[in-house]
Structure 1
């Protein structure tokens, strides 16, 4: 007995849903990072952590007339990147809400989101602990699925145009 199944057509929002998952993943990653930073800053410190902080406070450098400690730069970059992650995710969500065709038609918009997510994932794999690796894996897969679904939607249209 053989059964044939006709593929069910994808709904117009099919590429948008995974794209939103990726964008929310960016927001979640930034908020999670800020929350973890706050918890870590208020937690009891080990003697090793105190020694590392002390060494980072004693290591200073000047750039363009501003003197900063290594600890200042590390903390500042950490918070700034978390805020940029949140902003990026919110901008992606706002754009796709206002102009879903950016995702539905497989434009550079979706490719840029995927490229940013993959670059961040590669960095995380080399330098970061498991939580950002897990979140960035989800965001990368979500953006890739969005692009795949957009291609599946536009392929029949492209074939019909070529045949006409």
Structure 2
């Protein structure tokens, strides 16, 4: 009789859950770090160049769906919102894998979407972002890829 309570694993016996958790925690660290850097930047004394850029962004306004916003408002708002979404995504990944580890023990879309998202974000980071995401996102990408490699085929 086959015991269905046994987790699906590859022939090596390496559990794919651990690297997946590392990737998910990486997302949490990335978002939390972004919020910390944002708070630190907001409390720091701006350089003359930063003051000039902030002034220009405050003077540039647009209206969308009846709401007028400055470019500075939108930039800061999107930045903070994206950090919160990255944290939430990582926490949801951790909760899902805790309650349904088969989502990563078997190669499902759950693991594939995590890897693709991490790789896409890494590509964007290389083109547009500073060092912290360029350091963290290859780690999350490798962790998600290792998790998929260790997972059992569907």
TM norm. shorter chain > 0.5: yes
Q: CA deviation at 1:113?
A: 0.5
Distance 1:117 1:34 in 2: 19
User: 1:75 maps to what in 2?
Assistant: 76
Whole-Å Cα distance in 1 between the matches of residues 82 and 12 of structure 2?
A: 39
- The separation in 1 between residues aligned to 2:61 and 2:46, in whole angstroms, is 22
Match of 2:138 in 1: 137
Q: CA deviation at 1:45?
A: 1.1
Distance across 2 between alignment mates of 1:100 and 1:66: 44
Following superposition, the deviation at residue 126 of structure 1 comes to: 0.8
How high is the TM-score relative to the length of structure 2? Answer: 0.90
1:9 shift after superposition: 3.4
**TM-score (ref. length: structure 1):** 0.85
- Equivalent in the alignment of 2:57: 56
| Structure 2 residue matching 1:68: 3-state secondary structure | strand
**1:3 equivalent in structure 2:** none
Unmatched tracts of structure 2, length 5 or more:
1-10
Greater share of helix residues, 1 or 2?
1
Rounded Cα–Cα distance in structure 2 between residues aligned with 1:9 and 1:91: 28
Gaps in structure 1 of 5+ consecutive residues: 1-7, 159-164
Instruction: Give the superposition deviation at 1:79.
Output: 0.1
Instruction: Give the aligned partner of residue 10 of structure 1.
Output: 13
Which residue of the partner structure matches residue 7 of structure 2?
Answer: none
Displacement of 1:141 in angstroms is 0.5
